[in-house]
Structure 1
Amino acid sequence: MSRPPILDVPIAEEPIRLGQFLKLSGLAEDGVHARELVEAGEVEVDGRPETRRGAQLRRGQVVAVQGRRARPTA
């Protein structure tokens, strides 16, 4: 089975906090949902679990949630 494509999400400035990016990319419905995903261990950044909602992301890093993937771009 092939993995879904990575969604490129333009950001105005870097770094961007993980919680903000989850909302911007549509991986989370809102801030509460973003927090719940992070606290439940559902979020990976570059293939590693990330438990800090305020983690700083840079362009090109891949964020995965429940099989969906997105990355911040210019």
Structure 2
Amino acid sequence: MIEFELDGDFIPMIQLLKATDLVMSGGEAQTVVEAGLVKYNGKVDYRKRLKVKKGDIVEFNKQKIRVI
């Protein structure tokens, strides 16, 4: 599991995927979110600008990110 330390109140979903190196670009992040390949707290979520906060878990490509 990847642990991502959040500096502010939230991080947009596509920025989180880029920051954790699970995608190469913002465009790729948007594509995987729109395709339903990303889970947010256990459920598929299609929102690219979703505000991910501390305590949330994001899953993509058999990787889990826990935001701390």
TM-score by length of 2: 0.91
RMSD: 1.0
Q: Structure 1 length normalisation: TM-score?
A: 0.84
Between 1:19-28 and 1:49-58, the stretch displaced more is 19-28
Percent same amino acid at aligned positions?
Answer: 25
Q: 1:47 aligns with which of 42, 48, 51?
A: 42
Question: What is the number of equivalent residue pairs in this alignment?
Answer: 68
d(CA) in 2 for partners of 1:60, 1:23: 19
2: distance between equivalents of 1:14 and 1:43? 21
Aligned to 1:56: 51
CA distance in 2, matches of 1:28, 1:14: 23
1:11 corresponds to which residue? 6
Runs of 4+ in 1 over 6 A off after TM superposition: none
Aligned residue number for residue 71 of structure 1:
66
Unaligned runs of 5+ in 2: none
Which structure has the bigger radius of gyration? 1
Q: Which runs of 5+ in 1 are unaligned?
A: 1-5
